[in-house]
Structure 1
Amino acid sequence: MAQSRESSSGRFGTFGGVFTPCTLTILGVIMFLRFGQVVGNAGVLATLGIVALSKAITTMTAFSVSAIATNTRVKGGGAYFMISRSLGVESGGSIGVVFFLAQAISVAMYVIGFTEAFTATFPAFAPHRESVASTINLLVFLCVFIGAGWTIKLQYGILAILLLSIASFAVGAIGSFDPSTLSENLGTGFLEGQSFFTMFALFFPAATGIMAGANMSGDLRDPAKSIPRGTLASIAFTGLVYAGMALLLGGSEPRITLQTDNMVVREVAAFGPLITAGIFAATLSSAIGSMMGAPRILQALARDRIFRRLNPFAQGSGATNEPRRAVVATFVIAELGILVGDLDLIAPIITMFFMVTYGYLNLATFQESYTRNPSYRPTFKWTHWTIALLGAVSCALVMLLIAPLWALAAVALMAMLHRYIGRRQIRSTWGDVRSGAAFERARKELQRLEEESYHPKNWRPSILAFSGGAGARVELAVFGHWLCAGRGILSLAQVITGDVENLVERRLAQEKALRRFIQEEGLEAFPAVVVSPDRNRGIEALAQCHGLGAFRPNTILVGWSSDPEQAEERLETLRTIRNLGYSILMLSTKNTEDSDPREVPDGTIDVWWRGKENGPLMVMLAHLLVQNEEWRDHKIRLLRVVSSESGVEESERHLRELLGTARIRAEAKAIVSEDPLGAIRETSRNAAIVMMGFRLPEHGENASYLTESTNHMLHKLGTVFLVHSAGNVALDA
C-alpha cells in the first residue's frame, strides 16, 4: 500500500521547492515571445503600469497565501487546499476544478510557446507544428511521470540557462539602447482591436506562477516558512526583471518591430542562440512546473471525495505517492489545448481562471481576518483584511475590464459547480470560516438588537415548544415549525427528570438525538434539553434561561393535558410562565397511532374573537400559518358569537375593520347563539385548526373547572390552539 504524502513530505526547501518553480514559471513564454508585443502596443510607461498592476494583484494574493499557509498545516493541493479549508467544500471544490484546468491548460500554453520558438529557429519543422508540440508535451509528461524529485533537480540547470539568457539580452539591449527610440516608445500605440486591458490579459499569465510553490506544498519540508519567503522573493525578483526588460526593449527597437516580431528578444540579445536556449528552457520549465502542480491539485481534490468520478485520481504511486494517474489526465487536457494551437486565445482563458482563483484566495483571507476567529493566528504579519479585500475586488474588476463575457462565463461555471456540490450536501471533515463568519454577523446583530427599543411592528414568533424527546410529541414540533413560518425562531425543549450529576451523559445523548430529529424532519429549530428534579420546575427553568438577548422566547407551546389530578400543579407552572411575560399556546389534537401529525388537515382556520386580550395574537398566528406552502390554500375565518340578530351587522363590520387594519385576508362572520360553546363546536367541527383565547384562573379560583369545561368543549373539535397572549402583538403595527 502506498504511503501517504505526509509521510514522504519534507523533500524540498524554500529555494528548490518554491523560489525556483515560481521564478521559472513567471519568466517563461510570455517574457520571450509576447513581452515585446506588450511594450510595442502599450508603450513603456503603460507596460510598467501593467507590470505594476499584475505584481500588485499577485503580491496581495501572495500575502493572503502566506497568511493561510502560516495559519494552518498546508498539505497537498495548494490553492485548493487553502480555499476549501477556509471557505468550505463548495467553494474549495469549485476552485479545485477551475484551478486544475488552469494549470493543465497552462501546460498547453507553454508547449505552444516552445513550439513557436522552435519552428522559428528551425523553419523546416514549421509545417509540423502540431507534431512538434505533441512530442514536447509527451516529453514533459514523461519527465513528471518519473517523479517530482528528479524534475526539481532538472530545474536548477534550467534556471541557470534562463539567467544567462536574460544577461545576454541585457548586454545586447544596453549596446543598442537609443534614448530617442525610448522617447518614441514611451506612449501608447495600440494596433486595431488592442487596448490596455487586452495587453494586460496577454501579459498577466506571466505573473501567475506565484502558485507554483504552493502547489508543491505537500512536498515541502516547512510550507509555513517556505511558501511566504519563496513566493515573495520570486515576485520581487521577476518584477525587477520585467521592469528592466520593458525599458531596454523600448529603447532598443522601433515600435513596429516590437509589435510584429515575436522573436524580438532574440534579435536584441548579444548572443542569439543563448536566447533560443533560454526560450526552450523557460517554456519547458514552465510546462514542467504546471505539469507537476496540476496533478497534485487533482489528487487533493479526489482525496476529499467531492466528485465521485475523480476518486480514482486520489491514488498515488510509489513510496513518494506520486499522482501519476492525475499526471496522465493533465497530459490529455494539455494535448486538447495544443490542438487549439493559438497562444493569444489560450492566454486570456488562463487569465480568467487564475483571476477567479486569486480572488477566492483573497476572499478566504478576508473572511478569516474580518470575522476575528480565534483560530486565525497566522505567523505571517504583513497582511490585513483590507489588503485581502482589495485583492479580491481588484481581481473581480480586472476580470470585467479585460473581457466581460469571459468573466461572466467564469462566474457562471463557478456558480454551477458551487450549486452542484451544495446539492450533494457533502459534509467536510474539516472546519471552515463560514461558521465563524456567521457567528460574527450574529454577534453584531444581537448587540444592535439589544440596543434598540422593542416595537410591536417587529414582533416575530420565538417559540419554546416542550415537545419532549425526539419523536415524542411530533405534532408540537411540526406545529411550532409551521407557526414560525420561516420568520421566527423555534426551540424544541425536553425536560429530563432526575439528578443532573447522574444524567449528564443522557442529557448530551438526548440533545444529540433531538438535533438529529430536527434535521431528519427538515425543521428550522434548535434543541434545548435540561435536567430537573421535577418536570414543571424544568419548564420554568427553561422559560427563564433559554435564549439570548432579542432571541429569547416570547411564546411557550405545550400540549393540553386533560388530567384533572395535575391541573393545579400545571396551572401554577402556567401562571409562572405568564408572570414572566410569555404568551402561552396549548395544543390539543385528536391524533391516533395511525394518523400522521405531519399531514395537513382539510378545512378552515377558525379564529374565535372575544376581544383584544388574546385576539391579535390568534389572528397573527393564523396569518403565519397560511404563509407555509402546505397551508396556503386554507381559508381563515374570524368568528364571533353574538346573542341576537341585531348584533350581527355591527359585529361583522367591526371584524372586517380589524382585518383591514391588520392587512390580513380572512372571512368575517358573526354567529348568533345563546350557547357560545355549542356554537363553537357546531361551527368549527370540520375546521382544520381552531384558535380560542383562554384566561388563567387566579389563586383561589377553581382550577378543575377550567380543565372540565375545556375538555367538554374540545371533545367535539379536532385540532385546537388555546391561546393566552402576553399583549405584545398589535394588528395595526
Structure 2
Amino acid sequence: MSKNSEKPQGMGTFGGVFTPSVLTILGLVLFLRLGYVVGTVGLWQTLLIIGLASLVSVLTSISLAAVATNIEVKSGGVYYIISRTLGVAYGGAIGLVLFVALAVSVGFYCVGFAEGVTATFDITTPFAAQGIAAAAVLLMAVIAWFGSDLATRVQYVVMAFLVFSLISFGMGAWGHWDNSRLVAALGPNQGWIGFWPAFAIFFPAVTGFTQGVNMSGDLADPVRSIPRGTAYAVGLSILVYVVVAVLLAGAVPRGILTFDYGAMRNVAAFGPLIDAGIFAATLSSALASLMGAPRILQSLAKDKVFPFLAVFGVGHGPSDNPRNGILLGTLIALGTVALGNLNVIASVVAMFFVVTYGLLNYATYFEASGRSPSFRPALSWYDPRLSLVGGLVSLGVMLAINLTAGLVAIAVILAVYQYLQSTATESRWADGQRSYELQAVRDNLLAASARPEHARDWRPQILAFSNDEARRERLLRFAAWIEGHSGLTTVIRILEGKGRRARRELALAEKALERDLAAKGLTAFPLVVSATDLDVAVPVAVQSVGIGPTRINTVLLNWLDPAKRTEDPEQAKRFLGNLHASFLLGFNLVVFDAHEDDWERLTATRPAARTIDIWWSDNATGRLMLVLAYLMTRNTDWRGAPIRVITADAETDVDLRQAELEEELKSVRIAAEVIVLPIGDDRLEGLIGQSADSAIVFVPLGIREQEFTDWLGTPLANILPRLPIVALVMAAEEMDLSADPDQAEISD
C-alpha cells in the first residue's frame, strides 16, 4: 500500500494533537501542585509563573507551527524538525535528550498518580506509593505495547473525566469563595520556596504541547493538525490554569494550600470526581509520553545517527510500533519512580524540556534566517524574531531554574553534538544549514562591497587551471598552502568544442572534477567551461570568475610539461600567450613546477625541517612572494618552516644590504632569515647552489621575446631542472605590506 493511501487512516487534529496535548498539560501539576505553588509564592507570583511558562510554550508553539507548515513532519516529531533544520549533529543531540525527558516524564506522572491513590484511600504503608507508581508504569507499557489505537480510544474517556472534575471544582470553589482569603493569598508566604524553585515545580505543566507533534508519524495531515491542535491546546490550558489559580486563592485557606496537595478535592462539589480526574489525567499523560518517546528513539535509529541504537529502529505490526523503545522507556520510567520525590523529579523534567524548547526555537530562527525561497510557512504573520525571543527566554529560564544543572545540560548537548560532528557520515537529508550559510555569504558580500577597498584586506583569490588530472592534486595542495586559510581557490577546466557533444562532455567533466576533488579531500570550487576557442576562453574566464570582493586576483597553473613543449611548440606558444594576456589584464601569475620525485621527498620531510626560499627582487613581485611564503607557514604542513630571503644583486656593501632587508622584514612583521650573496661572475649559480636543498623556491618570473625567463632574463629551461619545487611568480598588483589603516584608499 502506498504512503498516500495510508495517510487518511491516521489520526486527526482533535484526537491526534489537541486531546493528548490537553490531557498532558492539564494533568498532575494542575491537580496536585498548583495549590502548593499558590500557597507558597502567592497568587501574583503564581500568575507570573503561569505567564512566563506559557510564554515559553506559546513562542515554541509558534516556532513549531512555522516549521510544521513548511515541511512534511514525519515520524520523530520535534527530533525530526530539529534534525532537518540544524542537521544531524544537533538533531541527534536533542533527540536523545528529548527521549530521556519523555521517559522520565512517564515516571513523573505515575508518581503523581500514586500520590493521588495513597491520599484518596489513606494508604500509609511504607513504599506503597512507589509500588503503585511502578505498577502504573507497567500498565502503561502494556497499553503502549499494543499500539496507538487502544490509547486513542482511552483518551476520550479520560477527557470526559477531566472536564467533569474541573466543573466539580469550579462549582465547589465558587461556593467557598472568600475575598479575605484572596487578599491574604496575594503575596508570597515568607520562609517557603522562592520564585524559581516554584517555577521549576510548575513548568512541567506546560510541556505537554509537544505530545501531538511527537506522534507526527501517526497523523493523517500533520501539516494542518500540528499547528492547529497545538494552538488550541495551549490557549485553552493557559485559561484553565489562570482560572483555577484564582479560584484556589479565593476558596482555600493559605495554610491548607501550603500543606495539603489535595486542596482541590476538599472544595470540589463532588470530591471523587477530582480523584477520578487525577487518576485519569496522570495516567493519560504517562501513556502519551510512553507513546511519544519510543517513536523519537525509533526515528533516531532509522536515521542511523547512533549505530548502537539500530535495534530500536525495528517496528512491529501495521503501525510500525517501536516495542524495543517502549521497553527502554519503561526501564527509565521505573528508575525515575525509584527517586520517589516528585518535586525533585519535576525539576529534572523541567530542565530537559526547556533545553529542548530552546533548541526548537533556535532551529526555527536558524531556518528562517537562511531566507531560503523554500521557507514558506503557512503562517503568513510569522516573524523569525519570535523564535529568537523564544530561544533566549528558554535559555534564561533554564539558567534561572538551576544554573549548575543548566550549564551541565548545555555541556551534555554540546558533547553529543561534537561527537556526532566528528563521527557522522554524509547527511542523508537536506537541512537548513546550507541556506543559512548562503544567506550569510550574501549579506557579508554586500557589506564588504559597500566598504572601500584597502591593501590590508588583500588575500589570495586563486583561479587554478588544470586539465591534467595526474598533476592536479599537487597544484591544488600548493593552492591551499598559499591561501593560508584566508583565500579561495576555484579550479577550472576549459574544454574546446561546440554543439550537443560539447554539452555532454561538459556535464561529464563537471561530475568527474567534483568526484576527484572529493576523493582527494581538496578544498577548491570546481568549474568546467566549454568554449570554441581556448585563447578566447582564458581571458574571459579570468575576468569573470568570482563575485564582488571575491573576484580572482591570482592565476595559478602547472609549468608546461617539457615533453609536451618539445612535441608541440604551438601549445607552448599558446601557454605563454594566455599567461601574458592574464598578466596584462591585471592578474598575478603563479606557475608551479613540482616533479614527482621532488614531491615525494617533500612529503617525507617533517614541516619544521622544510625550508622556503625567496629569490628576492625589490618590487611588487618580491613582496607578493614574501606574502605567499608567509601564508604557507599558517598551514600545519609548513608550521615552523623557516623562510629565507636570498638576494645576489646587492649594489652596496653586503652587510649594509642585509641590514636594510632585515629592517624591511621587521617593519612588515614577517620573520625570515636574510642571505645576501656577494656579486660574483655568475650570481645565478650562487642562488641555485644556495637553494638546492630547500623544500620550495619562489622565483620571480619574466617574459621576454616570447620566452619564459627569470627576472635576470635567464631562460627557465636552464634553471628549473636544477632546483627543487619551484613557484614562479609575477605580480600585476602593487603589494603594500605595511597597509597603514589610517591611510584609506579612495577610488575615483
TM-score (norm 1): 0.95
What is the aligned partner in structure 2 of residue 671 from structure 1? 677
**Conserved? CA contact 1:469–1:494, under 8 Å:** no
What is the aligned partner in structure 2 of residue 694 from structure 1? 701
Q: How big is each residue's C-alpha offset from its partner over 1:46-69, in whole Å with a ceiling of 9 and x where there is no partner?
A: 111111111111111111111111
Aligned pairs for 1:310-709 (under 5 A) are 310-468=309-467, 470-499=469-498, 501-561=500-560, 562=562, 563=565, 565=569, 566-592=571-597, 595=600, 598-599=603-604, 602-642=609-649, 647-672=653-678, 673-697=680-704, 701-703=705-707, 709=715
Give me the whole-angstrom Cα distance separating, in 1, the residues matched to 2:342 and 2:101.
Answer: 14
Change (3 A) 1:346 1:382: farther
Deviation at 1:471, TM superposition (A): 4.4
Change (3 A) 1:592 1:687: closer
Change (3 A) 1:348 1:470: farther
Q: Percent identity?
A: 38
What is the aligned partner in structure 2 of residue 133 from structure 1? 133
What is the aligned partner in structure 1 of residue 746 from structure 2? none
**Conserved? CA contact 1:461–1:489, under 8 Å:** yes
What is the aligned partner in structure 2 of residue 243 from structure 1? 242
Give me the whole-angstrom Cα distance separating, in 1, the residues matched to 2:266 and 2:708.
Answer: 106
Q: How big is each residue's C-alpha offset from its partner over 1:307-349, in whole Å with a ceiling of 9 and x where there is no partner?
A: 1111121121112222222111211111111111111111111
Change (3 A) 1:276 1:527: same
Give me the whole-angstrom Cα distance separating, in 2, the residues matched to 1:67 and 1:56.
Answer: 16
What is the aligned partner in structure 2 of residue 157 from structure 1? 157
The residue type equivalent to 2:416 in the other structure is L
**Conserved? CA contact 1:302–1:313, under 8 Å:** yes
What is the aligned partner in structure 1 of residue 203 from structure 2? 204
User: 2:716 matched to 1:710?
Assistant: yes
**Secondary structure at the counterpart of residue 294 of structure 2:** helix
The residue type equivalent to 1:684 in the other structure is S
Deviation at 1:529, TM superposition (A): 1.6
Deviation at 1:357, TM superposition (A): 1.2
Question: Which deviates more, 472-481 or 151-160?
Answer: 472-481
The residue type equivalent to 1:225 in the other structure is R
The residue type equivalent to 2:658 in the other structure is E
Question: Which deviates more, 82-91 or 595-604?
Answer: 595-604
What is the aligned partner in structure 2 of residue 180 from structure 1? 180
**Conserved? CA contact 1:547–1:553, under 8 Å:** yes
Change (3 A) 1:704 1:301: closer
**Secondary structure at the counterpart of residue 585 of structure 1:** strand
Give me the whole-angstrom Cα distance separating, in 1, the residues matched to 2:433 and 2:620.
Answer: 44
Return 5+ residue gaps in structure 1 as ranges: none
**Conserved? CA contact 1:658–1:731, under 8 Å:** no
The residue type equivalent to 1:170 in the other structure is G
The residue type equivalent to 1:403 in the other structure is N
User: 2:13 matched to 1:14?
Assistant: yes
User: 2:728 matched to 1:722?
Assistant: yes
Deviation at 1:630, TM superposition (A): 1.8
Deviation at 1:598, TM superposition (A): 5.0
The residue type equivalent to 2:117 in the other structure is F
**Conserved? CA contact 1:10–1:222, under 8 Å:** no
**Paired residues, number:** 727
Change (3 A) 1:451 1:40: same
Give me the whole-angstrom Cα distance separating, in 2, the residues matched to 1:185 and 1:335.
Answer: 37
Change (3 A) 1:688 1:281: same
**Secondary structure at the counterpart of residue 334 of structure 1:** helix
Change (3 A) 1:70 1:363: same
Deviation at 1:708, TM superposition (A): 7.1
What is the aligned partner in structure 1 of residue 256 from structure 2? 257
Return 5+ residue gaps in structure 2 as ranges: 740-748
**Secondary structure at the counterpart of residue 607 of structure 1:** strand
Give me the whole-angstrom Cα distance separating, in 1, the residues matched to 2:2 and 2:581.
Answer: 64
**Conserved? CA contact 1:89–1:426, under 8 Å:** no
Give me the whole-angstrom Cα distance separating, in 2, the residues matched to 1:521 and 1:527.
Answer: 13
**Conserved? CA contact 1:48–1:243, under 8 Å:** yes
**Conserved? CA contact 1:42–1:188, under 8 Å:** yes
**Conserved? CA contact 1:490–1:526, under 8 Å:** yes
**Conserved? CA contact 1:105–1:350, under 8 Å:** yes
Change (3 A) 1:109 1:471: farther
Deviation at 1:16, TM superposition (A): 0.9
Q: How big is each residue's C-alpha offset from its partner over 1:600-636, in whole Å with a ceiling of 9 and x where there is no partner?
A: 5854211111211311001111111111122123211
Deviation at 1:637, TM superposition (A): 0.9
Q: How big is each residue's C-alpha offset from its partner over 1:688-726, in whole Å with a ceiling of 9 and x where there is no partner?
A: 1111212223xxx35377797211122211111111001
Deviation at 1:652, TM superposition (A): 0.6
**Secondary structure at the counterpart of residue 620 of structure 2:** coil
TM-score (norm 2): 0.93
The residue type equivalent to 2:287 in the other structure is I
Give me the whole-angstrom Cα distance separating, in 2, the residues matched to 1:254 and 1:478.
Answer: 79
Give me the whole-angstrom Cα distance separating, in 1, the residues matched to 2:102 and 2:663.
Answer: 68
**Conserved? CA contact 1:102–1:350, under 8 Å:** yes
**Secondary structure at the counterpart of residue 722 of structure 2:** coil
What is the aligned partner in structure 2 of residue 59 from structure 1? 58
The residue type equivalent to 1:141 in the other structure is A
